[in-house]
Structure 1
């Protein structure tokens, strides 16, 4: 059993004296694990950094075996994040959420494409936080928990003042349609309705919205496991920046 693909390195852990077990996200083979012989060596360890883009060859005797990877670097993203604590926290949040939420060996090509684009933006601090927020929306959508922000759940398509989201259904609600129920709804930041830029405070409000559905829909369906701490650390760090 063997295949070749490109992928994003999600995690690496030492295996024995010199090998490593890595998990990658690929467009055609999804989240996939394998052993890299010599992965802990001086030659390969600097290459095997989370976020790295790798050319991969996987081989195993049987399909359900963990198998082995041969890896070649395509590009490293470490240079974009190592001197930027917020970007490093964001990268850790992305890889942790993917490991937390994606089933093994199940392809999610659209989400892979969004993830690769987001990773490549992490050198631009003015752009990537909003891209990350929209990536969390895409993650929810890909796994069947998407928000419907296309029209007001009460007034229909004629409403043009979408301002809230139902915490139960994930559907948008207009200010007019919310009425006396507004205090029971989640604020909908305008940045999730358009393609432009947004101030940090508005993006932080978006993280509160996506966080609600990550916790109460995605994590709940995965057995009630807590979200990765890396996501909370990133949001806390970003919120501190937004408060300045």
Structure 2
């Protein structure tokens, strides 16, 4: 009986390891296949991509002739309420993960498993900045008006909105004085991560991207 139980768990572990291997092989293949590879950086609008080593954010100018982000989100949602900023960053992710993991050392196994394997709510992390923080790996990208328009529409679509078309803030959730969280569409899983969200936005805008990737490294490799 004990031998049967050991064999059962051994087979389960082997199956899990095989699935993990297939997942990482698929991620490597998807990351290696480029999308929009003929793109040339000839635009006049500068945006940024930033990663903390795991999670990627978009950074856009607060306002230009195409989009004034204050019409959708503004600093009144932050603790500081300060409006003298020039850039806005957007990151998409799992709401429970955001709530329970302000720092990576706070990450627990149950939080990670819920985020990856359960259909939990998502959130948009919005931060208001005077200049993009360059303490973390950051790349600048010169995009055209049409490319930026597509990125704007993609990010706007990702917010959940109420019946009046307004964004829905997450109460009492902040990482610092100049950020806020908002309810977002879709749910994070192993095949649709925070980096997949950024990669899909780049693809839709006609910018260099991967066919599919759950990781940040593959995105940044396209801009080096």
User: TM-score with structure 1 length normalisation?
Assistant: 0.26
Higher relative contact order (CA 8 A, sep 6+): 2
Q: TM-score, normalised by structure 2?
A: 0.28
